[in-house]
Structure 1
């Protein structure tokens, strides 16, 4: 499992064995079952999570009870309610497991200490945060400018494996369309 994290970090910042041993000491492991919650709306959010295995979704429920999926997270992705994590407040999102998942957890305090102790990790997290911001901005622009069919095709092209792992109702909630509309797009 530590190999997965090391390979992920080394895509951005090469590490010595000693450096990685130090970095690894800041993380704890968590295993969750399918449908188990990682973060629940109204609870404090103290950790950011690296997905070693499995698949999760972050969702917001509006006042009418409609689910809006903000993010999926599969292997080698990071997930949390970032607003609550960074501000050390309660969650606005629910994050639960679509599949049984193994995660590496990094507390807010440990992340701060790790970045202070390691320029390489500070650089790594800056690159990851910037990439996440760019992806979020692209998604917002896609929602504003593209029709549902284009959003579907874009998601399918970017993450084809997601369509094998995620129920169509969740894909529809992510795209902001009905299950029936999604079925017309996929021809099934």
Structure 2
């Protein structure tokens, strides 16, 4: 399973077997059960998780108790509360498992150490962070400038399998619509 991480890294930089073994030595493997919360709002965040299998979500609960889905993460994706992880502060997001999940995680200390000791990995993480910023910008622009129908169709095109794996209420939260609106969009498609 850890070859999934190697494949992702090697889309950006090539590694010898020895280099990959060194990279992997900075990660820890951990399995989580469906519904398990791995990051709680208000707690310190120590890890960035790479999914080998399963499905997770990050979300924020507003003062009225409404959940706003920030991200879904599936195999070959990273998930954490980036602000809390990088600033070593308390989480403003919650991350929990929608399916049993297997991960490799890296602490900030190990990530910094790895980047200091291996230029290739510093480059890899910089490229992944930049790609994450770009994806976040696209998501924000989509939320503020697209119709609900356009957001729905975009998600359906990008991640068609997600609709079979995630409850409609969570898809609606991610799209910023009500469950009823999502049902209308699905029925008109």
Describe the SS at the equivalent of 2:126. Answer: helix
Describe the SS at the equivalent of 1:19. Answer: helix
2:114 maps to 1:107: no
In structure 2, distance between residues paired with 1:34 and 1:47? 19
Q: Aligned-pair distance for 1:114? A: 0.4
1:1-188 map, 5 Å: 1-187=1-187
Describe the SS at the equivalent of 2:15. Answer: coil
In structure 1, distance between residues paired with 2:37 and 2:89? 18
CA RMSD of aligned residues (A): 0.8
Describe the SS at the equivalent of 2:149. Answer: helix
User: Where does structure 2 lack aligned partners over 5 or more consecutive residues?
Assistant: none
CA distances 1:12-52 after superposition (whole Å, capped 9, x unpaired): 11100010010000000110000000100111001101000
Q: Aligned-pair distance for 1:53? A: 0.3
Q: Aligned-pair distance for 1:7? A: 1.0
In structure 2, distance between residues paired with 1:165 and 1:8? 23
Q: Aligned-pair distance for 1:8? A: 1.2
In structure 2, distance between residues paired with 1:42 and 1:156? 33
In structure 1, distance between residues paired with 2:101 and 2:45? 18
Please report the TM-score for the alignment, with normalisation by the length of structure 2. 0.98
- Number of paired residues? 188
CA distances 1:107-160 after superposition (whole Å, capped 9, x unpaired): 000000000111111111111001100000000001110111110011111111
Describe the SS at the equivalent of 2:91. Answer: coil
Q: Aligned-pair distance for 1:3? A: 1.2
Describe the SS at the equivalent of 1:23. Answer: helix
In structure 2, distance between residues paired with 1:136 and 1:49? 18
In structure 2, distance between residues paired with 1:78 and 1:100? 16
Describe the SS at the equivalent of 1:171. Answer: helix
Describe the SS at the equivalent of 2:106. Answer: strand
Describe the SS at the equivalent of 2:29. Answer: strand
Please report the TM-score for the alignment, with normalisation by the length of structure 1. 0.98
